[in-house]
Amino acid sequence: MSDFWDRITVVFIVHNSVSVLAGALESLAKAKRIIVIDNASSDGSAALAKSLHDRVEIIHNPDNTGVSMPSNMAFKEVDTELILHMNPDVQFDNACVERLVASMDADPNAAVISPMIINANDDQEIDVMGPGEIEHRKIAVPPEGPFCTWYVCGSVWLWRNEAIKKLDGFDSNIFLYNEDVDICVRVSQAGYSLIVDTEAVIHHGGGASERISYKTRWRKDWNLIWSHFYLKSKHVGHTAACKEAREKRREYACNAMIGALLLRPKTVVGQLARVSAVNRFLKGGPSWLRTTWARPRPY
């Protein structure tokens, strides 16, 4: 294979990610173009990325707008055939990327190829989803070699730029979480295939780029829940999503009270964040910290 890096632009987002950048950029030693979107970091993430690799280009995002919006900002700047879209807390070798490119070339209808994930506990992780589903689940024994699926995990994705443009990128109404499920559903609806190649391997730190605190716990649980019901409204039906949301709100409120009685503040914070997210969803409000919708609401 000729130098496959000539065909690839790397895209990833940083937000206070200095602790993981060295490993990620070491994995990209031979990359020809890297676009880093700095989501209002306060720890010098952008400057460090620039110092670690001479092919890094920085897009400064003045606010932390999650994943979808910044990714779409970068996609507009890409003119190569392929996009390697990744988290900043992953590491892989040159053979992994070459394998992903080979799998892409083997299936002209493929929109995206994802590798095997080895998590921080050295366990294999492959999540799958069936046709018409919007929730993915892990499988215990991954198949050998490439296989088609309806969901690929977004830790590292090799995208065909043509497909990203046809899909108009991620749904920018989503701040964080489930943007991967949404785009996978739309990939299938557009007639493309999604492939996981278990012979390409990455190591994923799993959220290691940001310190866990009550604030980040609130934000994580809030966005997980809001995006779940947004996704269900968009792809299953708004009535069904609202019915489930009301049932879950009671469950989350009960869990928060139990957590308070048991003196478990992390539980209280997480469950109250979920109640807050459900309330915002049921009132028809947009995602995290937003006062307006980025795109017309799809329900």
pLDDT-derived band at 76 (thresholds 50, 70, 90) equals: very high
Q: Where are the beta strands (DSSP E) in 208-262?
A: none
pLDDT-derived band at 2 (thresholds 50, 70, 90) equals: low
pLDDT-derived band at 148 (thresholds 50, 70, 90) equals: very high
Task: Give the pLDDT mean for 16-36.
Answer: 94
**What is residue 277's predicted lDDT score, i.e. its pLDDT?**
98
Reply yes or no on whether the pLDDT at 205 is more than 80. Answer: no
pTM of the model: 0.93
Task: Give the pLDDT mean for 251-261.
Answer: 98
CATH topology for the 4-204 domain: Spore Coat Polysaccharide Biosynthesis Protein SpsA; Chain A (3.90.550)
Task: Give the pLDDT mean for 80-106.
Answer: 95
Angle, alpha carbons 78-191-173 (nearest 5°): 55
**What is residue 18's predicted lDDT score, i.e. its pLDDT?**
93
Q: For the chain, which residues make up each domain, given as ranges?
A: 4-204, 214-282
User: Of 37-41, 80-84, 117-121, 229-233, which range is least confident?
Assistant: 117-121
Q: Write down how long the chain is.
A: 299
CB atoms within 10 A of CB 65: 25
Reply yes or no on whether the pLDDT at 150 is more than 70. Answer: yes
Residue type, 43: D
pLDDT-derived band at 145 (thresholds 50, 70, 90) equals: confident
Return the DSSP state at 208: T
